[in-house]
Amino acid sequence: MTDTHCPYCALQCGMRLSPNPAGGVPEVTGRDAFPVNRGALCGKGQTAAALLAPGVRLTAPLVRDADGLREASWEEALDRVAGAMKATAAAQGPDAVGVFGGGGLTNEKAYLLGKFARVALRTRSIDYNGRFCMSSAAAASRAAFGLDRGLPFPLADVARTGCVILVGANPAETMPPAVRYLRELRENGGTLVVVDPRRTRTAELADLHLQPLPGTDLALALGLLHLAVAEGHVDEEFIAARTTGWADARAAAMAHWPERVEALTGVPVPQLREAVALFTRTPHAMVLTARGPEQQSKGTATVGAWIDLCLATGRAGRPLSGYGCLTGQGNGQGGREHGQKADQLPGYRSLEDPGARAHIAALWGVDPGALPHSGSSAYELLDSLGRPGGVRTLLVMGSNPVVSAPDAARITRRLTALDHLAVCDVVLSETALLADVVLPVTQWAEETGTLTNLEGRVLLRRAAVTPPAGVRSDLAVLHELAQRLGHATGFSSVPEEVFAELRRATAGAPADYSGISYDRIAAEDGVFWPCPSPEHPGTPRLFLDRFAHPDGRARFTAPSHRPAAEEPDEAYPLYLTTGRTVSHYQSGAQTRRVPELAAAAPGPYVELHPDLAAGLGVREGELVTVTSRRGTVTAPARLTAAIRADTVFMPFHWPGAGRANLLTNPALDPVSRMPEFKVCAVRVEKAVLPRVRVPAVPVAVGA
């Protein structure tokens, strides 16, 4: 029996794996004592052990010959990858070798992958799919508070505050065990305001549902701040004592009066006033954002506007109040702290900070000048693949960009233009199918490592089963590749040894893990960073005394509304927004292989309002085509009055003809470099099925 954590979202729910008396995969139960989920598991967590079954996952390396992929020895596969890296670097320079990581990798893997790129490869070309997750919220939090941690307070505080404004989040489907805190909030007398273009399962729980046009969350936040000022709800004492930049923020808000905001967002003025009243009439309140406002070409400014609302009303830096982001991927928090991101060194150190470079270089045994400087963001890296001056050889670890990247057909073409593609994965994902070498690696229950959940709680996920013969860990892959590239030491394949080095790397950094150990995590059910010494209790709640800027003050950002990068027009008259369903996770590469989950959600669909469907002559279940400037997809229609009549929704978990990211816009936020997944212009038409010519059946004459 092994206590561990779920392989999916950033809640990292506590679970227990027990031997199955009938044989086969272990039995999964929730752990009542773990404070985040308190025993609850969603359908994905309950069926997670299905991924451990024989036949579901890869068990031998694959290499590509003229006839396609074939099984190979580990030695042949690793030699091919290392040989391609050497040849590319020699011919075109180290930056022509790239690394693309994932927000589901453990802290140890994320750390060692960043070290591998910068020491073994000496390349600037590294980023990860977490750039597609919450990079806008991270950028806005760093600008406002001086530090980014998804939630600067434990999730349990949500149930004890007075009001929560939940912006572009649907935890009832994306992280169901978290919904108990929203229910407890209301049971305790608090109120819930949900901002979403769709009336989701989460919105059905709300006291007030605001249903704005996609891409107008920034105007909405500024309109609420305008009303807070006009109606006397500003906390002048807090502003004077703990912030800077209020004059500019106030001016920006006053340019967004209620009637203008109603015209921009479609949210009626009375609802705007009601939202402000609910948020300000209680001593404690929170704003929580997720991918809705963040996955926009102005996502950083949008989150900044919601933070400005918190600061102006004194709802930040105080108990049971504040701004937080509901991180999506399992290690979305830790994955971006330790070196996968193009501009960061471990512990949230900046790659361009001379002091940070010196600290890490000394630990790694290299000259600071030998460390590469910042590289391109995730989409820009992927878009450079195979181009002159771009990346020619790529290692992908823990990501499936063929399904998950915006403008996915373009990225698929770029992947196929590479000289060499190597993929480490548990299953033969759509990206792995394009690879020259596929390396089968261990998964969650077959390996030990740490993850950091959405609260900043560092957790230990323990190995519970023995991996199949022929499978190696990602750490072992990096160890073997580093050796082949001339680095005999410095790349341990032992997780606890890597974590010990990570602790030294983060000492004194914003995300300081130096006081955290495997033993301590196990004894305390996780430790909140920063934790600078073994005696330090950890930091469940940030900013109560001061913000993380040198002067201790938070910064207002004072953004102004601007439209989405692509607005509807005559040719593309509708908005498309994308998201997840309760049965699947991210690109679906794993959950689509779980029979119960695949049966519950077998394929893509297009959600549209009955009025829109009537105008198109479309009935429930009929095929429709959705076309953007980048591509066309076909999927069945799902009619619902829960969505705006000018908007359609698609989940993004499937490949093939219904691949939603064939449509999405790669327009990037200028600060975070987040693509605009959440809004683009499309047209919808009833699918015209090809005519099938049925040959005439000859009729016998005179029979």
pLDDT at 702: 38
Q: What is the mean pLDDT of residues 143-172?
A: 97
How many domains is the chain built from?
Answer: 4
Question: Strands of 27-30's sheet, edge to edge?
Answer: 2-5, 14-18, 27-30
pLDDT at 203 > cutoff 60: yes
pLDDT of 134 reads: 87
Tokens of 643: 């969505």
**Percentage above 90 pLDDT, the chain:** 95
d(CA 662, CA 684): 14
For residues 186 and 319, membership in a common domain is answered with yes
604 preceded by cis ω (within 30°)? no
Residue 458: name the closest of 526, 530, 504 by CA. 526
Same-domain check for residues 69 and 175: no
SS3 content of the chain, % helix, strand, coil (to 5): 35, 20, 45
pLDDT of 693 above 60: no
- Nearest Cα residue to 358 out of 489, 488, 143, 509: 509
Given a cut of 50, whether residue 699 has pLDDT beyond it is no
Of 460, 491, 522, the last residue of a domain is: 491
pLDDT for position 469: 92
Give the integer Cα–Cα distance in Å for 422 and 414: 14
**Looking at the structure, do residues 317 and 374 belong to the same domain, yes or no?**
no
**Cross-strand partners of 658:** none
In a domain, 543, yes or no: no
3-class DSSP assignment, residue 229: helix
Specify whether 315 is located in the same domain as 338: no
Residue 554 lies in a domain: no
Do 224 and 305 fall within a single domain?
A: yes
Structural domain boundaries, residue 7: 2-52
What residue type is 485 in one-letter code?
Answer: L
As given in the structure block, the two tokens for residue 496 are 């606890």
CB 327 within 8 A of CB 134: yes
> Do 85 and 187 lie in a common domain?
no
Confidence at residue 112, expressed as pLDDT on a 0 to 100 scale: 98
The 10s digit of each residue's pLDDT in 306-318 is 999 999 999 999 9
Do 320 and 293 lie in a common domain? yes
| Rounded Cα distance, 272 and 262, in Å | 8
Q: What is the CATH number of the domain that holds 299?
A: 3.40.228.10
Strands (E), 125-236: 126-128, 163-167, 191-195, 208-210
pLDDT of 84: 98
Q: 698 pLDDT exceeds 60?
A: no
Structure confidence at residue 531 (pLDDT): 98
Between 613 and 335, the more confident residue is 613
**Per-residue pLDDT reduced to its tens digit, 554-594:** 999 999 999 999 999 999 999 999 999 999 999 999 999 99
Kindly state the average pLDDT of the residues 433-461: 97
Q: What's the confidence (pLDDT) of residue 690?
A: 63
Confidence bin at 321 (pLDDT 50/70/90): very high
Residue 229 and residue 144 share a domain: yes
Residue at 539 is within a domain = no
Question: Rounded distance, CA 4 to CA 599, Å?
Answer: 27
- How do residues 523-538 score in pLDDT, each as one tens digit? 999 999 999 999 999 9
pLDDT tier at 688, thresholds 50, 70, 90: confident
In this prediction, residue 24 carries a pLDDT of: 84
Asked if pLDDT for residue 434 goes beyond 70, the answer is yes
Mean pLDDT of 14-32: 91
Its sign, for the CA torsion 459, 465, 471, 476, is positive
Residues 141 and 242 in one domain: yes
- Residue 48 inside a domain? The answer is yes
Q: What is the mean pLDDT of residues 662-666?
A: 98
pLDDT digits (tens, 9 = 90+) for 60-113: 999 999 999 999 999 999 999 999 999 999 999 999 999 999 999 999 999 999
Domain membership of residue 532 (yes or no) is no
124 and 163 part of one domain: no
Q: Which pLDDT band holds residue 691 (cuts at 50, 70, 90)?
A: low
| The predicted structure's pLDDT at residue 701 | 38
Cα dist from 582 to 35, 521, 599, whole Å: 22, 30, 12
The CATH number assigned to the domain holding 478 equals 3.40.50.740
On whether residue 452 sits in a domain, the answer given is no
Same domain, 191 and 250: yes
Rounded CA-CA distance 331/62 in Å is 27
* 196 vs 266: CA distance, rounded Å: 12
Partnered with residue 623 across adjacent β-strands are: 636
The domain that contains 42 carries what CATH number? 2.20.25.90
The pLDDT of residue 152 is above 50: yes
User: What pLDDT score does 278 carry?
Assistant: 98
Is residue 385, in this structure, part of any structural domain at all?
A: yes
- β-pairing verdict for 457-461 and 449-452: antiparallel
Residue 700 pLDDT: 42
**Does some domain include residue 697?**
no
SS3 639: strand
Helices (H), 462-494: 474-484
Looking at the structure, tell me whether residues 121 and 67 fall in a common domain.
yes
Q: Is the backbone peptide bond immediately before 530 cis, with ω within 30 degrees of 0?
A: yes
| Mean of the per-residue pLDDT values of the chain | 96
